Amino acid sequence: MTTQFDAIFHGLSPELGKFRIAASGMAWKGVDSDKMVAISSADIKWAQWLRVARNYQLRVGLKDRSREIFDGFGREDHDKLSQLLKQHFSVTLETKEVSFKGWNWGVTDFQGEDLAFLVSNKASFELPLSEVANSNIAGRTEVSLEFTTPSGSKKSKGAPDEMVEIRFYVPGTVNRDRGSDA
Amino acid sequence: GTGRNEGKGWKRFQSYKGEAALPKEAESLRIFVDRKAQTIILPIHGFAVPFHINTIKNVSKNEEGDFTYLRVNFQTPGQLAGKKEDTPFEDPDATFIRSVTYRSADGHRFDTLSKQITDLKKEVNKREQQKKEMAD
């Protein structure tokens, strides 16, 4: 038996597609391009559920330590998805807590291939290190990361805004005179 | 702790109580100014990341080739002295985001965004100022 979810995105692509789950695995197929992403059940190791910009994201960890992400799920899809993952792949859908506090201070944490920024122990965002084109340290307390941007970005209505650089202020690299009471 | 910020007027603020409060516009993966929540939402690699206007210092904009660049600068400790450092911080030892820069081929939209953010900042500053005067 196959269960289908409509209007799902694969990765950060703007293209909508159909997402299907069955005992054999899961697959996404683009509506416009007919692009196809298929994951076989034997490769599925873990699954996470988190709130992102395009509603909820299903993040699937694979045997080769890579992962696939699918955006656009509704809050109401959680229980159904959770049950299907359990039933077909014996995988528990874990919820990853995300912060919406609006603060610009927190903790950076290297998590696998990502640099995560945590606010009050919840994820604020994650940056894939594979997309960092350049990094710089200035004045011992400032770290900047520059990102690769697609060169052929054309002017199109509704195109996403592209982040090209982020700078962090990292104190604590200089000697502290008060122990670690943070 | 030493409580060095106690009584210095650092006020706790928050953009949204939970994920359900995130506005629909965040879906576009474009910068969005949510005036009601006094918050700017930045798209960061698929996440919709809110920043309360109190964390924002200013924005700057410049044009290069076919693109317009918008840089959002945040309040952080250890910024170059010039004005006296009177901004208190909850945790000055944390890691701070100091700036995030975006590019767009749509310069008009970045003009509008830049103005919206600047206006919101002014509005909030003015209100703070009035509150202070009332308290005196």
B50: domain CATH number? 2.30.29.210
**A111 or A57: which carries more pLDDT confidence?**
A57
Examine residue B11 and state whether it is found in any structural domain, yes or no.
Answer: no
Check CB contact of B66 with chain A, cutoff 8 Å. yes
Share of chain A above pLDDT 70, in %: 90
What pLDDT is recorded for position B4?
47
What pLDDT is recorded for position B134?
87
Question: Is B104 in Cβ contact with A161 (below 8 Å)?
Answer: yes
Question: Is A102 in Cβ contact with B55 (below 8 Å)?
Answer: yes
Cα angle A117-A118-A123, degrees, rounded to a multiple of 5:
95
| pLDDT (mean) for A40-55 | 98
Examine residue B106 and state whether it is found in any structural domain, yes or no.
Answer: yes
| pLDDT (mean) for A1-6 | 96
- Where along chain A do its domains lie? 3-95, 107-169
Return d(Cα A7, Cα A29) in angstroms, integer. 10
Check CB contact of B68 with chain A, cutoff 8 Å. no
Per residue in B86-100, pLDDT (tens digit) is 567 888 889 999 999
Return d(Cα A176, Cα A14) in angstroms, integer. 47
Question: Is B92 in Cβ contact with A100 (below 8 Å)?
Answer: no
Report chain B's mean pLDDT, rounded to a whole number: 88
Domain over A3-95 is classified CATH 3.40.50.720: no
Q: ipTM score here?
A: 0.90
What pLDDT is recorded for position B2?
42
Examine residue B10 and state whether it is found in any structural domain, yes or no.
Answer: no
Return d(Cα B58, Cα B74) in angstroms, integer. 7
**A54 or A140: which carries more pLDDT confidence?**
A54
| pLDDT (mean) for A30-44 | 96
Q: Which of residues 108-127 of B touch A (CB under 8 A)?
A: none
Examine residue B124 and state whether it is found in any structural domain, yes or no.
Answer: yes
Per residue in B27-68, pLDDT (tens digit) is 999 999 999 999 999 999 999 999 999 999 999 999 999 999
What pLDDT is recorded for position A178?
44
What pLDDT is recorded for position A83?
98
Return d(Cα A122, Cα A138) in angstroms, integer. 28
Per residue in A129-168, pLDDT (tens digit) is 999 999 998 878 999 999 987 765 556 667 899 999 999 9
Q: Candidates 2.60.40.10, 2.60.40.1120, 2.30.29.220, 3.40.50.1820; correct CATH number of A107-169?
A: 2.30.29.220
Residue B109 pLDDT > 70: yes
Cβ-based contacts under 8 A for chains A and B: 166
Q: How many separate domains does chain B show? A: 1
**The residue type at B117:** I
Report chain A's mean pLDDT, rounded to a whole number: 91
Whether A3-95 and A107-169 share one fold: the answer is yes
Examine residue B58 and state whether it is found in any structural domain, yes or no.
Answer: yes
Query: SS in 3 state form for B45-104?
Result: CCEEEEEEHHHEEEEEEEEECCEEEEEEEECCCCCCCCCCCCCCCCCCCCEEEEEEEEEE
Q: Which residues of A touch B43 (CB under 8 A)?
A: 53, 160-161, 163
Share of chain B above pLDDT 70, in %: 88
What pLDDT is recorded for position A149?
79
Strands in A44-52's sheet, in edge-to-edge order, are A36-40, A25-30, A16-22, A3-10, A67-73, A55-62, A44-52, A93-95
Examine residue B120 and state whether it is found in any structural domain, yes or no.
Answer: yes
Residue A124 pLDDT > 90: yes
What pLDDT is recorded for position A181?
43
Weakest-pLDDT range from A80-84, B2-6, B41-45, B111-115: B2-6
Structural domain containing residue B117 = 25-78+93-135
